[in-house]
Amino acid sequence: MKKLSIIIPVYNEAKTIGEVIRVIHNLQLISGIEKEVIVVNDCSKDDSKAEISRMILSINSPSIKLCEHAVNKGKGGAIHTGIKEASGDYTVIQDADLELDPSEINLLLKVVLDGKADIVYGSRFLNKEIKGGSWMSNRANAFLTWLSNRTFGIRITDMETCYKLVPTSVFKSLKLVEQRFGFEPEITAKLAKHKNLKWAEVPITYNARTNEEGKKIGWKDGFRAVWCILKYGLGR
């Protein structure tokens, strides 16, 4: 692996996006892997665009690219745009908040470099040091993951995780359509159909934020996730 593409979908994350970009830029990937950072501003209504532009100007690096949506498409839609722009050997998604520790991307990379897997998910539930997350949210995630495992014929512990490390060529071949949070079950279902790919999970740390702090996923997204699991898992 020579280069990693890191996609950062952004919607109304002015408070954190500048720090996320800074941390990602300073992140040293193992084995000298090069990185490209693709920031997709999904028509934010706050000062996210200004914060992104300010940080990119401050860093002044050709490895960071900004893509703009004229209308809001949702997290999935932003990731679709990022995938089209990705040129790395592998691609991973980084949320624009600070719930996850970007340095742990190296944990996922090491599994691939060691030849143990082709696809690596970062699991929040394998780590005994999980911080935050309501009981209801954790139970919902557990149910969605269980349903995914039964429907897709896989064995993972965190289907809804942000950290999914996937070969870019596979990412580009999946023909993803979900625009919002249905992206997570859709990509997992479509990856599961590639029976030749080896899977692995690694524990990651998780500092969940509240709705007041900007958490966007809600109960309606949970129902959509169930629908997507059944649609993409049972459909052809």
Residue 210 has pLDDT above 70, yes or no: no
In the CATH scheme, what is the code of domain 3-234?
Answer: 3.90.550.10
Give residue-wise pLDDT tens across range 3-32.
999 999 999 999 999 999 999 999 999 999
Please give the residue that has the higher pLDDT: either 93 or 223. Answer: 93
pTM assigned to the model: 0.91
pLDDT at 140: 86
- Alpha carbon of 95 to those of 7, 101, 117, 151, 182: distances in Å? 8, 10, 23, 27, 15
Please give the residue that has the higher pLDDT: either 208 or 124. Answer: 124
Residue 88 has pLDDT above 50, yes or no: yes
CB 124 within 8 A of CB 206: yes
What is the helix (H) or strand (E) element at residue 5, kind and residue range? strand 3-10
Give residue-wise pLDDT tens across range 150-201.
999 999 999 999 999 999 999 999 999 999 889 999 999 999 999 999 999 9
Please give the residue that has the higher pLDDT: either 203 or 211. Answer: 203
